[in-house]
Amino acid sequence: MTLKKMPLLFGGDYNPEQWPEATWEDDLIQLQRAHINSLTLNVFSWALLQPDEATYDFTMLDKIMALAGRYDMQIVLATATGALPAWLVAKYPDVARTDINGRHARQGMRHNACPSSPNFQRLAKALAGQLAARYHDDPALACWHISNEYGGQCYCDNCAAAFRTWLQAHYTDLAAVNAAWNSNFWGHTFHAWSEILPPMHLTDMIDAGTDKPVLAGAALDYRRFQSDAMLANFKAEKAAIRAVDATTPITTNLMSTQKDLDYFQWAKEMDLVSWDNYPSFDTPASETAMKHDLMAGVLQKPFMLMEQTPSQQNWQPYCALKKPGEMRMLSYQAVAHGANTVQFFQMKQSQNGIEKFHGAVISHVQATGQHETRVYREVKQLGAELAQLPEDLLASANHAQVAVLFDWPSFWGVEYATGPSRQMDYVKQVHLYYQMCYDRGIDVAVIGKDTPFDGFAAVIAPVMYTASEQLSAKITDYVQNGGTFVTTYMSGIVDDHDNVYLGGYPGSLQEVLGLWNEEFDALPPDTTINVALGAGKTCSASFLCDVTHPTTAQVLATYDDPQLFYTGAPAICQNDLGEGHALYVGTQLDAAGLETLFGHIAQAAGLDLTGARPFAGVEVTHRYSAAHTYTFAVNTTAEAKRVANPAPAGVDLLTGGTPGKELALAPFGVAILQTAR
Ligand code: GLA
Ligand code: ZN
């Protein structure tokens, strides 16, 4: 499902309810002058729309919708259920959440509803239905936006009861739950369903000091249950909309690598993925790229860039301004990775409230119309450029030779595990291998366990802690049919319930990898060991070291450190199986080691590296339509760059010129080269 109207949506969150009505039209005039063509409305207006349970009042929203329509704005209409009205919590305290320590909220900031509250479920659905009935045939409506940034957890009694129901649906009986969780450990055996409570600090099932669970199986199931419960909230509102509106796309704004929700499950229920991109001043460009690719990957489709700040974000420790050109660069980087919209939080900076120092198109300074700001001018210039882009670009999509696997159960499981290392950071680990590819100038897809692997020359699965027997079979199949599969330490260790596979790590992956691991060693921070990479080359390794025994795999690198009792054991192995190859990395390699590893992967997978160039701050990615290849060259740095043109035959859509052999990019400069396919 695509957005109702074209071209590319350029706009974002606008909260006129915070301002006198007399100011709205001025805002719209200023926004339209900056080529803003879309507004996200009504995100936090529940308390205004429904002053009490019996009364709905759409007077203000009607006016805003009508005015926005008059200014040709395409509206992303939120269902306003992301923040609970005070009366609602007072009347039905169960709509609020209970935290991990058992404290039940009396009111709350926002994103604060208990997903299992029958009153929340009923009233949120009713509000979505009211909005849909009222606005579904408004010609300005482009997309529905349900709630806002779902996430967090609730541990209340309603959630406890719903958790038991969830368990009953997923397990045949209580004995199966006890078995899956190995609950005889430390005497947690359950004899009645009612004994099962949410794993939390208060129930002593999650250690308050470390946040590590006693029974990881229980904690993992609780995460699955909470993700499903919030998804059920989303689906209920979606159904209420669908009852009157069969066609307008429905989304909710995701947050990429956030931990709480398994977005591969969520995406199945979404017409369009949208997400909020808030890199910090020190976030590497590769990390932002990976997050975009994950958001393109959960639904295997172009996505909406629902939010980014035009300049500073005040909730980060330092409100660094985006430098001149940086917002434009980040916008094009998103488009390069599959964004079909460029949207901001926010259109107008609030005068008071927790976000008063957050960036906006119309800042405090510009609110009276006296001054035009740098940020406004940059938005305006970008809007003019985006309006010129061909519609064919929006019909294009990314395609990569290499995929990196991201998996929420592994994320949860490996970070819940007590041991082997407190330094374990799942997202960082995935990023390390994503960056290994990114730095070599190739496009990378980010996929899930259920995404088909064929079509990718190589699939890299870092720290794939949780692996079912079916997944191992899928991997074996992929390799046998010519794929190159790569995995690392702390992969294939446990089943879906966090039970360790017996008989050698990594369980059922031993055969495809042609090896087994006997032990894993954790190195203290700042400790490195030497690795011999072959051909006289060496590198250093850190973090974790597997003690590996190859069976059919050949050894490509070994630990080379006389201090270590396992010196000489393999650090990198490759197993050739059927038409394909499986590589295993037993330790965290430094940059030199990753370069060698990438070389082995490229060779095994037969990667086409023509046109790929080592990353030097200029990111090169591609989108393909039936007729054209779009090559994006994005200078992610504040320095001017001269690089070999990755598409010398291309026409730069931003200048209309043909730059030829060399590309000169200004600080944060961008070129979009269109070539015929
Ligand atoms: C999130 C929210 C917005 C706003 C921004 C500020 O993404 O969805 O409502 O608070 O953060 O950066
Ligand atoms: Zn709850």
Band of pLDDT at residue 5, cut at 50, 70 and 90: low
Q: What is the mean pLDDT of the chain?
A: 97
Ligand whose nearest atom lies closest to the CA of 163 = 2
CA distance 613 to 439: 8
What tens digit of pLDDT does each residue of 554-581 get? 999 999 999 899 999 999 999 999 999 9
Residues 91 and 161: their CA atoms lie apart, in Å, by: 21
Are 639 and 663 spatial neighbours (Cβ–Cβ below 8 Å)? no
Is the Cβ–Cβ distance between 424 and 465 less than 8 Å? no
Q: What is the DSSP string of 578-623?
A: TTEEEEEE-EEE-HHHHHHHHHHHHHHHT---TT----SSEEEEEE
591 and 477 share a domain? Answer: yes
Out of 582, 605, 628, a domain closes at 605
Is the minimum distance from the CB of 313 to ligand 1 under 6 angstroms? Answer: yes
Q: Nearest to residue 337, comparing CAs of 398, 278, 287?
A: 398
Give the residue, out of 149, 291, 344, with the most ligand 1 atoms within 8 A of its beta carbon, to mutate for a pocket test: 149
Using the atom order of ligand 1, give the atom closest to the CA of residue 278: 12
**What mean pLDDT is predicted for residues 325-343?**
98
Q: How far is the CA of 272 from the centre of ligand 2 (A)?
A: 28
Could you tell me if 139 and 64 lie in one domain?
A: yes
515 within a domain of the structure (yes/no): yes
Segment 642-671 mean pLDDT: 96
In a domain, 630, yes or no: yes
Mutation probe of ligand 1 site: the residue of 355, 356, 357 with most atoms within 8 A of C-beta: 355
Region 280-294 average pLDDT: 97
From the CA of 349, the nearest ligand is 1
Partner residues linked to 275 by β-bridges: 254, 305
Which residues does the annotation mark as catalytic? 149, 307
Residue 413, Cβ neighbours under 10 Å: how many?
26
Q: How far is CA 497 from the centre of its chain?
A: 24
- pLDDT per residue over 203-260, tens digit each? 989 999 999 999 999 999 999 999 999 999 999 999 999 999 999 999 999 999 999 9
Q: Which atom of ligand 1 is nearest to the CA of 148?
A: 8
In a domain, 610, yes or no: no
Ligand 1 atom, smallest distance to 149 CA: 8
- The alpha carbon of residue 524 and the mean position of all alpha carbons in its chain are separated, in whole angstroms, by 30
Picking from 555, 575, 605, the residue at the C-terminal end of a domain is 605
396 in a structural domain:
no
Q: Is residue 278 within 6 Å of ligand 1 at its C-beta?
A: yes
For residue 549, being part of any structural domain is answered with yes
Which residues form the domain of 98?
Answer: 9-154+228-389
For residue 148 and ligand 1, the question of a CB distance below 6 A is answered with yes
Segment 297-307, tens digit of pLDDT:
999 999 999 99
Atom of ligand 1 nearest to the CA of 314: 12
- Say if residue 50 is exposed, middle or buried (CB neighbours under 10 Å; 0-12, 13-18, 19+): buried
Compute CA distances 587 → 488, 532, 547, 554, 562, whole Å.
7, 12, 10, 16, 17
- In this model, does residue 25 exceed pLDDT 70? yes
358 lines ligand 1 (CB under 6 A): yes
Say how many Å lie between the CA of residue 313 and the centre of ligand 1. 9
Domain count of the chain?
4
Give the strand order in the sheet containing 339-344.
250-251, 141-145, 74-78, 38-41, 9-13, 339-344, 303-307, 274-276, 253-254
Residue with the smallest CA separation from ligand 1 atom 5 is 345
Other residues' Cβ atoms within 10 Å of the Cβ of residue 201? 16
Contacts of 417 by beta carbon, 8 Å cutoff, 6+ apart:
212, 216, 424, 465, 498
Are residue 383 and residue 457 in the same domain, yes or no?
no
15 lines ligand 1 (CB under 6 A): no
CA torsion, ordered 455, 586, 537, 444, to nearest 10 deg: 30
Q: Is residue 206 part of a domain?
A: yes
Q: Ligand 1, closest atom to CA 313?
A: 12
109 and 236 in one domain?
yes
Question: Do 325 and 347 share a structural domain?
Answer: yes
Q: Exposed, middle or buried: residue 222 (CB in 10 Å: 0-12, 13-18, 19+)? A: buried
Pair 592, 449 in one domain: yes
CA–CA gap between residue 301 and residue 229 (Å, rounded): 25
**Residue 307 CB–ligand 1 contact under 6 Å:** yes
- pLDDT tens for 524-553 read 999 999 999 999 999 999 999 999 999 999
Question: Which ligand 1 atom minimizes the distance to the CA of 253?
Answer: 8
DSSP string covering 417-441, please? S--S-TT--HHHHHHHHHHHHHTTT
Cβ–Cβ < 8 Å for 659, 652? yes
Question: 299 CA distance to ligand 1 centroid (A)?
Answer: 23
Q: Ligand 1, closest atom to CA 110?
A: 9
Distance in Å, CA 521 to ligand 2 centroid: 40
What is residue 612's predicted lDDT score, i.e. its pLDDT? 81
Residues 546 and 596 in one domain: yes
Per-residue model confidence as pLDDT tens digits over 123-180:
999 999 999 999 999 999 999 999 999 999 999 999 999 999 999 999 999 999 999 9
- Residue 486 CA to ligand 2 centre (angstroms): 40
Nearest Cα residue to 234 out of 166, 145, 314, 161 = 145
Which residue's CA is the closest to the ligand 1 atom numbered 12? 313
> Per-residue pLDDT for 197 more than 60?
yes
What's the CA dihedral at 32, 33, 35, 36 to 10 degrees?
-40
Over residues 589-601, the pLDDT tens digits come to 999 999 999 999 9
* Residue from 42, 276, 350, 358 whose mutation best tests the ligand 1 pocket (most atoms within 8 A of CB): 276
Does residue 203 lie in a domain region? yes
> Is 653 found in the same domain as 597?
no
- 617-622: average pLDDT: 96
Between helix 216-242 and helix 118-135 the angle, nearest 10°, is 30
Please name the residue that has the structure tokens 């926002």.
110
Q: Which ligand places an atom closest to the C-alpha of 105? A: 2
Residue 45 CB less than 6 A away from ligand 1: no
CB 149 near ligand 1, within 6 Å: yes
Strand order in the sheet with 628-635: 618-624, 628-635, 670-676, 651-652
Q: Name the token pair of 233.
A: 């909230």
Torsional class of 455: left (φ above 0), alpha (ψ -120 to 50), beta (otherwise) = left
Average pLDDT rounded to a whole number, residues 439-462: 97
Handedness of CA 604, 605, 609, 612 (dihedral sign): negative
How many A from CA of 355 to the centre of ligand 1? 9
Does any ligand 1 atom lie closer than 6 A to the CB of residue 310?
no
308 and 455: one domain? no
216 lies in the same domain as 134: no
Tell which residue, 288, 267, 236, 276, has the closest CA to residue 81: 236
Nearest listed ligand to the Cα of residue 109? 1
Interval between CA 344 and ligand 1 midpoint (Å) = 9
User: Distance between the two ends of the chain, CA-based, in angstroms?
Assistant: 25
Cis peptide before 346 (omega within 30 of 0): yes
Ligand 1 pocket member 145 (CB < 6 A): no
Q: How many other C-beta atoms are found inside a 10 Å radius of the C-beta of residue 441?
A: 18
Whether 314 is in the pocket of ligand 1, judged by its Cβ within 6 Å, is no
> Exposed (0-12), middle (13-18) or buried (19+): which is 95, by Cβ within 10 Å?
buried
Distance between CA atoms of residues 120 and 128, nearest Å? 12
165-175 burial string, b = 16+ CB within 10 Å, else e? Answer: ebbeeebeebe
CATH of the domain at 655: 2.60.40.1180
CA of 180 to the centre of ligand 2 (A): 24
Q: Are residues 440 and 480 in the same domain?
A: yes
pLDDT at 108 > cutoff 90: no
Helices (H), 71-136: 86-91, 118-135
pTM above threshold 0.95:
yes
We report the CATH number of the domain holding residue 547 as 3.40.50.880
CA 345 to ligand 1 centroid distance, Å: 6
What per-residue confidence (pLDDT) applies to 614?
A: 75
Q: Coil, helix or strand for 250?
A: strand
Percent of the chain past pLDDT 90, that is, above it, reads: 97
Q: Which of 543, 571, 605 is the last residue of a domain?
A: 605
> How confident is the model over 449-474, as a mean pLDDT?
98
- 12, two tokens: 């974002």
Distance, CA of 62 to CA of 21 (rounded, Å): 12
Burial class (CB in 10 A: 0-12, 13-18, 19+), 187: exposed
- Burial of 19 per CB tally in 10 Å (0-12, 13-18, 19+): middle
Q: Does any domain span residue 437?
A: yes
Q: Which two tokens stand for residue 650?
A: 């291309």
- The 10 Å CB-count burial string (b at 16+, else e) for 545-581 is bbbbebeebebbbbbbbeeeebeebbbbbbbebeebb
Indicate whether 279 pLDDT > 60: yes
Q: Which two tokens stand for residue 504?
A: 């050698």
pLDDT for 4 beyond 70: no
Confirm if 109 and 41 have CB atoms less than 8 A apart: no
Q: Is residue 139 domain-shared with residue 245, that is, in the same domain? A: yes
Report how far ligand 2's centroid is from the alpha carbon of 247 (Å).
Answer: 32
Instruction: Indicate if ligand 1 lies below 6 Å from the C-beta of 190.
Output: no
> Using CA atoms, how far apart are residues 135 and 131, in angstroms rounded to an integer?
6
Q: Which atom of ligand 1 is nearest to the CA of 44?
A: 9
Residue 551: per-residue pLDDT: 98
CB-count exposure of residue 32 (10 Å: 0-12, 13-18, 19+): middle
Beta-bridge partners for 344: 12
- What residue's CA is closest to ligand 1, atom 7? 276
Q: Is 632 in the pocket of ligand 1 (CB under 6 A)?
A: no
Joined together, the tokens standing for residue 559 give 């630990």
Task: Find the 227 Cα to ligand 2 centroid distance in Å.
Answer: 12
- pLDDT score for 165: 98
**Sign (positive or negative) of CA dihedral 498, 504, 508, 509:** positive
Nearest CA to ligand 1 atom 10: 355
CATH of the domain at 91: 3.20.20.80
The ligand whose atoms approach the alpha carbon of 356 most closely is 1
Ligand 1 pocket mutation, candidates 17, 81, 345, criterion most atoms within 8 A of CB: 345
- Hey, what's the torsion of the CAs at 373, 374, 375, 380, to 10 degrees? 90
Position 114 scores a pLDDT of: 98
